C-alpha cells in the first residue's frame, strides 16, 4: 500500500510540473484569450488525439462503466455502442462547426447561435445549459479521484478529502496559468498510464480468474443469484432502453462545452476528420475495461460503493507499485478532463452570459475567463463536499438530458435556418421541463417508462425530452412562419460553411 501511495504521489506531482511547464509551450502570449483558452487553435492530429481522448474518456468513465456492468450486467455495456456511433455523428457535425467557427472566430456553441439567430435569449439559454451540464460532470471526476484516495485512508471517503482538495487546487492553479495547453500536455502522460494499466489488467486479471469463459459463466451465475437478479444478456424489455441510451448519449457527447473546446483547438478541419476515425481506438479500451466489471463479479469483490470496484480489483491482482500506477492513471485521468471542462464552461460564461450583461459588450478579457475557471473548479469541489455521491450521478444523467436540448438550435442550425429562434427557445424550455419532470417522477433514474397503445416503452429521458423539444420547435416555427413574423438576423453566409 505504501509503495502504491508513493508512485501515485510522484505521478501527480509530475503531472503538475508538466501543467505549469505547458505555459512555455510554443512561446505563446497567454494574455490572448484564444491562446489561453484554445491553445492558439494550433493543435495537429497527434496532440488533438491525446487531448480529445483525455477529454472524452475520463476517469469517471473508467470507474463508472465497469461499476455499472458490475451492478446491472449487460445493460451497462451500452457505453460501447454509444462510444462507437458517437464518431460518425462527430465527423459530420464537428467538421462543419469547425469551419464556421474558424471563419468567424467563435469560442463557443453559443457564439454561433448568437450570429445565426440574432437572438440574445437563445444565446444565453444555450450558454447556461452548457455551464449547468458541465458542473456535475466536473464533480464526477472528483468522485473518480476520491474512490482512489479513499483506499489509502482508514477513514474511507472522508479521509480522502484532504488529498482531493490538494489535487484540485493544483489543477486550478496550472489551468489558470497555462490554459488549455496544460491538459493537452498532461494528456500524454494520462494516456500512457491508462493504456499500460488497461492492457495489463485485461491480460492478467482474466487469466488469474481462469480465462474469459470462466469469468462470463461465473458472472452470469452470480448475477442471477442477486436480490435484484440481472444477466450478462439483455432481457427483451431492455432492447429499446439499451439502444436509446446509446443513441441519446452519442447525440449529446460532442455538444458538451469540454468537447467543443478541444475540437476548436484543432489546427484544421482535416485534423477533426482524421480524429473521428482514430479516436474509436479508445472505445475498444473502454469496452475491455467494462468487462472488468464481470471480473470483479467473478472474483467476488464486494463493494458497498460500486465506484470502488476498479481500485479494489487493481489492489487485489497487482503488486503495490503497479496498483499505484493504475491509481495514478485514474487520478490524472480525472485531472485532464476536469481542467478542460472548467475552461469550456468558463468560456461559455465569459463570452455568452457575462458579456451579454456587461454594459458595452466589450471583447472578453482573458482575466475574466481565467477567474471564472477558478470559480467553477471551486464550485465543483463544494458540490463533492456537500452532495452525496448517488445524487452527483443523478445530476450527471440529468445534465446529459439538459445538454441535448441545445441540439436543435446548435446542430440543426448548422444546416438549416428554417427554425424560428423564438420557437427554438420554447422547444428548449419545454425539453428542459420535460427532462426535469421525468427525472423527478422516475426517482432520478436515467430511464422513463411511457405507456402508449396499451404497451410500455422504457427509454432514455434525454431522448424523450429531445422529441418534445423538436415537436414544440417545429409546430411553433410553422405557426410563426404562417404569421410572417421576422425570424431575426442571420449574420452567417453560405460561404462560412463551405
Partner 1 sequence: MHRARYVLLVLPFVGTLIPPIYNHARPALFGMPFFYWYQLAWVLVTAALLGIFVGVTRERRNG
433 C-beta neighbours (distance < 10 Å), count: 14
Say how far apart CA 218 and CA 208 lie, in whole Å: 14
Residue 298 in contact with residue 218, Cβ under 8 Å? Answer: yes
Figure out which of the listed residues 283, 435, 465, 477 binds partner 1, where binding follows CB under 8 A: 283
User: DSSP letters of 12-50?
Assistant: HHHHHHHHHHGGGGGG--TTSHHHHHHGGG-B-HHHHHH
Residues 209-238 close enough to bind partner 1 by CB under 8 A: 211-216, 232-234, 236, 238
Query: Considering Cα of 24, then 25, then 27, then 28, what sign does the dihedral take?
Result: negative
The verdict on 497 binding partner 1 (CB under 8 A) reads no
User: DSSP letters of 190-230?
Assistant: HHHHHHHHHHHHHHHHHHHTT-HHHHHHHHHHHHHTSSS--
Residue 239 in contact with residue 245, Cβ under 8 Å? Answer: no
The verdict on 458 binding partner 1 (CB under 8 A) reads no
Figure out which of the listed residues 121, 288, 429, 436 binds partner 1, where binding follows CB under 8 A: 288
Whichever of 93 and 315 has its CB closer to partner 1, that residue is: 93
Figure out which of the listed residues 5, 23, 85, 429 binds partner 1, where binding follows CB under 8 A: 85
Figure out which of the listed residues 77, 137, 395, 425 binds partner 1, where binding follows CB under 8 A: 77
Residue 389 in contact with residue 143, Cβ under 8 Å? Answer: yes
Contact range with partner 1 by CB under 8 A, out of 24-32, 40-48, 119-127, 240-248: 240-248
The verdict on 203 binding partner 1 (CB under 8 A) reads no
Whichever of 275 and 477 has its CB closer to partner 1, that residue is: 275
The verdict on 208 binding partner 1 (CB under 8 A) reads no
The verdict on 455 binding partner 1 (CB under 8 A) reads no
Say how far apart CA 134 and CA 160 lie, in whole Å: 23
Total residues contacting partner 1 (rule CB under 8 A)? 40
Whichever of 12 and 295 has its CB closer to partner 1, that residue is: 295
Phi first, then psi: give them for residue 49, nearest 5 degrees: -65, -45
The verdict on 273 binding partner 1 (CB under 8 A) reads yes
Say how far apart CA 21 and CA 15 lie, in whole Å: 10
Least distance between partner 1 and beta carbon 89 (Å): 9
**DSSP percent split of the chain into helix, strand, coil, nearest 5:** 80, 5, 20
Query: Considering Cα of 222, then 225, then 227, then 233, what sign does the dihedral take?
Result: positive
Least distance between partner 1 and beta carbon 64 (Å): 18
Figure out which of the listed residues 161, 246, 364, 461 binds partner 1, where binding follows CB under 8 A: 246
Say how far apart CA 53 and CA 184 lie, in whole Å: 10
The verdict on 243 binding partner 1 (CB under 8 A) reads yes
The verdict on 159 binding partner 1 (CB under 8 A) reads no
The verdict on 438 binding partner 1 (CB under 8 A) reads no
Contact range with partner 1 by CB under 8 A, out of 81-89, 106-114, 164-172, 472-480: 81-89
Contact range with partner 1 by CB under 8 A, out of 110-118, 122-130, 191-199, 274-282: 274-282
Say how far apart CA 18 and CA 419 lie, in whole Å: 46
Whichever of 239 and 385 has its CB closer to partner 1, that residue is: 239
Least distance between partner 1 and beta carbon 271 (Å): 11
For the record, the C-alpha cell of 400 comes out as 446529459
The verdict on 81 binding partner 1 (CB under 8 A) reads yes
Whichever of 44 and 388 has its CB closer to partner 1, that residue is: 44
The verdict on 84 binding partner 1 (CB under 8 A) reads yes
Place of cell 458540490: 383
Whichever of 212 and 444 has its CB closer to partner 1, that residue is: 212
Q: 386-416: buried (b, 16+ CB within 10 Å) or exposed (e) per residue?
A: eeebeebbbbbbbbbbbbbbbbbbbbbbbee
The verdict on 247 binding partner 1 (CB under 8 A) reads yes
Whichever of 67 and 246 has its CB closer to partner 1, that residue is: 246
Say how far apart CA 154 and CA 304 lie, in whole Å: 15
Figure out which of the listed residues 10, 105, 239, 497 binds partner 1, where binding follows CB under 8 A: 239
Say how far apart CA 290 and CA 311 lie, in whole Å: 14
The verdict on 99 binding partner 1 (CB under 8 A) reads no
Question: Which positions touch partner 1 (CB under 8 A)?
Answer: 74, 77, 80-81, 83-85, 87-88, 91-92, 211-216, 232-234, 236, 238-239, 242-243, 246-247, 270, 273-274, 276-278, 280-281, 283-284, 287-288, 291
Amino acid at each position: 500500500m505504501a509503495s502504491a501511495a508513493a508512485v501515485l504521489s510522484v505521478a501527480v506531482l509530475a503531472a503538475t510540473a508538466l501543467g505549469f511547464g505547458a505555459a512555455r509551450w510554443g512561446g505563446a502570449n497567454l494574455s490572448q484569450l484564444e491562446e489561453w483558452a484554445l491553445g492558439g487553435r494550433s493543435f495537429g492530429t497527434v496532440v488533438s488525439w491525446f487531448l480529445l481522448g483525455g477529454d472524452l474518456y475520463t476517469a469517471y468513465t473508467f470507474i463508472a462503466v465497469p461499476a455499472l456492468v458490475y451492478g446491472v450486467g449487460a445493460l451497462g455495456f451500452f457505453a460501447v455502442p454509444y462510444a462507437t456511433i458517437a464518431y460518425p455523428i462527430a465527423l459530420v457535425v464537428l467538421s462543419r462547426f469547425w469551419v464556421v467557427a474558424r471563419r468567424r472566430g467563435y469560442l463557443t456553441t453559443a457564439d454561433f447561435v448568437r450570429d445565426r439567430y440574432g437572438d440574445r435569449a437563445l444565446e444565453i439559454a444555450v450558454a447556461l445549459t452548457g455551464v449547468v451540464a458541465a458542473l456535475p460532470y466536473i464533480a464526477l471526476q472528483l468522485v473518480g479521484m476520491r474512490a482512489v484516495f479513499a483506499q489509502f485512508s482508514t477513514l474511507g471517503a472522508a479521509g480522502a478529502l484532504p488529498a482531493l482538495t490538494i489535487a484540485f487546487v493544483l489543477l486550478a492553479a496550472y489551468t489558470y496559468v497555462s490554459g488549455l495547453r496544460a491538459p493537452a500536455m498532461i494528456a500524454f502522460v494520462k494516456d500512457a498510464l491508462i493504456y499500460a494499466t488497461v492492457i495489463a489488467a485485461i491480460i492478467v486479471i482474466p487469466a488469474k480468474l481462469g480465462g474469459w469463459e470462466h469469468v462470463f459463466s461465473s458472472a452470469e451465475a452470480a448475477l442471477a443469484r442477486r436480490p435484484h437478479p440481472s444477466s450478462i444478456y439483455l432481457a427483451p424489455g431492455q432492447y429499446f432502453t439499451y439502444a436509446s441510451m446509446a443513441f441519446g448519449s452519442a447525440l449529446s457527447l460532442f455538444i458538451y462545452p469540454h468537447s467543443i473546446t478541444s475540437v476548436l483547438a484543432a489546427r484544421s478541419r482535416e485534423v477533426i476528420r482524421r480524429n473521428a476515425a482514430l479516436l474509436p481506438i479508445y472505445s475498444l479500451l473502454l469496452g475491455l475495461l467494462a468487462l472488468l466489471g464481470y471480473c470483479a463479479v467473478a472474483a467476488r469483490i464486494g463493494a458497498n460503493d460500486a465506484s470502488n470496484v476498479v481500485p479494489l480489483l487493481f489492489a487485489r491482482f497487482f503488486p503495490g507499485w503497479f496498483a499505484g500506477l493504475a491509481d495514478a492513471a485514474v487520478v490524472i485521468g480525472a485531472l485532464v478532463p476536469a481542467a478542460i471542462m472548467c475552461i469550456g464552461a468558463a468560456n461559455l460564461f465569459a463570452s455568452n452570459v457575462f458579456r451579454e450583461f456587461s454594459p458595452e459588450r466589450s471583447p472578453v478579457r482573458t482575466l475574466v475567463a481565467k477567474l471564472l475557471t477558478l470559480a467553477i473548479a471551486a464550485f465543483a469541489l463544494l458540490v463533492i463536499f456537500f452532495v452525496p455521491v448517488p445524487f452527483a450521478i443523478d445530476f450527471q444523467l440529468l445534465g446529459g438530458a439538459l445538454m441535448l436540448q441545445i441540439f436543435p438550435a446548435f446542430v440543426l442550425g448548422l444546416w438549416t435556418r428554417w427554425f424560428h429562434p423564438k420557437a427554438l427557445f420554447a422547444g428548449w424550455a419545454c425539453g428542459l421541463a420535460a427532462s426535469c419532470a421525468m427525472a423527478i417522477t422516475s426517482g432520478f433514474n436515467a430511464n422513463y417508462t411511457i405507456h402508449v397503445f396499451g404497451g410500455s416503452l422504457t427509454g432514455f429521458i434525454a431522448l424523450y425530452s429531445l422529441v418534445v423539444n423538436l415537436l414544440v420547435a417545429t409546430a411553433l416555427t410553422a405557426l410563426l412562419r404562417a404569421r410572417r413574423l421576422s425570424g431575426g438576423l442571420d449574420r452567417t453566409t453560405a460561404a462560412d460553411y463551405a
